[in-house]
Structure 1
Amino acid sequence: MSVVEERSSVLTQDEFEELARHAIRTNEALWLEFVDGKMGIKAVPDGDHGRIIEWLSRLCIQADTNWWLYPDQGLRAEMYRKGNARPGGSLAPSGTFVGQGEWASADGVLMVVEVTSGDADTDQRDRVEKPRAYAESGLPVYLLIDRDACEVKVHSQPDGVRYELVSTVPFGKSVVLPDPVGIELDTEPLKDWVH
């Protein structure tokens, strides 16, 4: 991570994309994001994170066989600032990202999903910066599966600045993912996949 450590915290879009290419070429275990004009480094997902995405994928496909929960698809996630986010999952109709590169348009995305990783930046990144960036982009639903707090937060009704509705339930209770998703989640299984 020496290249990352040598960089300032303010980067241009081109500098960010070059860093991301470097990380891939050198096989370093980090994920880069560029949210709110700042570079972020996020931990590579663990096995429980993958299991949560698998569980959620199955539920989404059962609700609509044309949907797919794309894990880790990079999105251009801000309307008035250049930015890139890599949600844990992006629920969209099958084929939505065909022909797009690593950082795809968020058009057509029904819901973005984040699963907390427990790294030092989780609070700022997943609970503050990403809800704002996703709301600014008009993403209809942001689902945060917070393994640290053992709760699920459902953000909906973006107004271009923030989400107007946020529902929070502890693991073990059911929660409805509002339209355009429109499914109910029983969060009981999440108790088995916390840190």
Structure 2
Amino acid sequence: MTAVPHEPLTQAEVLLDGFLALDTPEGFRAELIEGEIVVTPPPDGDHEDCIGLIVDQVTRQSRTRMQFAGTKGLRLPSAGPCPDVRVVPDATFAPYDLRLFRGAEAWTPPGGVALVVEVASARPLRDREDKRRCYARGDIPLYLLVDRQSSSLSLFGEPDGDDYRQQCTMPFGKPLPFPEPFAFELETSEFL
């Protein structure tokens, strides 16, 4: 029996294989963003408080009932050499009726996701720019960035290619209007 020669793996395939084989310590989060493996330590209490405030308001006030996931891995299109991007938003919301997260694999496409949320922390540029572009390429309708460094929230909407066409930024303390399917104003005074 003769061995069949295998095609050599590309650098992008080796990177993806290495990423998928990672065994991160409990509480740490690993993501593959534009060809770079990023491992993030567990978030601090203020980070988690911000997420809790958002989840509470979305579940109580949203016009459309929403399903929430706090650690849902998303597989998004890449602009770089890697076949895709693997991110874990701080919060992911989808219309409850879709039951998008039930039975989903660890890394799923973003179809049906209505909103992703990131609370910028140690590397704010990654959330302000890199992830924003990834979410836009994934055609996720809304991206909420809580920027603790600038004490503001930015809601990005209308994805178009590598970015969003709309951006609404409010300082902590001012309400931030959410469009359909949410249709409410996010109260931000508790972020102060």
Do they fold alike, i.e. is TM over 0.5? yes
Specify the alignment match of 2:40 in structure 1.
42
Alpha-carbon separation, structure 1, partners of 2:64 and 2:179: 18
Larger radius of gyration, structure 1 or 2? Answer: 2
What do residues 88-119 of structure 1 show as CA deviations (whole Å, max 9, x unaligned)?
000112321111122122111100000112x1
The one of 8, 17, 20 equivalent to 1:14 is 17
- Structure 1 counterpart of 2:100: 96
Q: Is the 8 A contact 1:116 1:145 kept in 2?
A: yes
The 1:42–1:122 alpha-carbon spacing in structure 2 relative to 1, beyond 3 Å, is farther
Among all aligned residue pairs of Structure 1 and Structure 2, give the percentage whose two residues are the same amino acid: 32
Distance across 1 between alignment mates of 2:14 and 2:88: 17
Aligned partners of 1:156 and 1:178 also within 8 Å = no
Contact 2:132 2:163 in 1 (8 A): yes
Which digits, 9 at most, give the CA deviation of each residue in 1:138-174, with x for residues without a partner?
Answer: 0000000011110001111101221011111110111
1:170 matched to 2:168: no
Matched-pair contact (CA < 8 Å) for 2:127–2:145: yes
Aligned length, in residue pairs: 176
CA RMSD of aligned residues (A): 2.2
Q: Is the Cα–Cα contact under 8 Å of residues 57 and 68 in structure 1 kept in the other structure?
A: no
| Distance 1:28-1:97 versus aligned 2 partners, 3 A rule | closer
Describe the shift of the 1:178–1:11 C-alpha distance in structure 2 as closer, same or farther (beyond 3 A): farther
* TM score, norm. by length of structure 1: 0.82
Letter of the 1:93 counterpart: P
Matched residue, 1:83: 85
- Kindly provide the amino acid, as one letter, of the partner of residue 37 in structure 1: G
1:9-56: per-residue Cα shift (whole Å, max 9, x none)? 99522211111xx11xxx355211111122112232122222222221
Aligned to 2:66: 67
Unaligned runs of 5+ in 1: 1-7
Identify if the C-alpha distance between structure 1 residues 12 and 115 changes in structure 2 by more than 3 Å, giving closer, same or farther.
Answer: same
Distance in 2 between residues matched to 1:68 and 1:29, nearest whole Å: 22
SS in 2 for 1:130: helix
What is the CA–CA distance in structure 1 between the aligned matches of 2:43 and 2:165, rounded to whole Å?
29
**Larger proportion of helix:** 1
Deviations 1:112-147 (A, max 9, x none): 000112x1x222x10110010000010000000011
**Structure 1 counterpart SS, 2:57:** helix
CA contact (8 A) 1:78 1:137 kept: yes
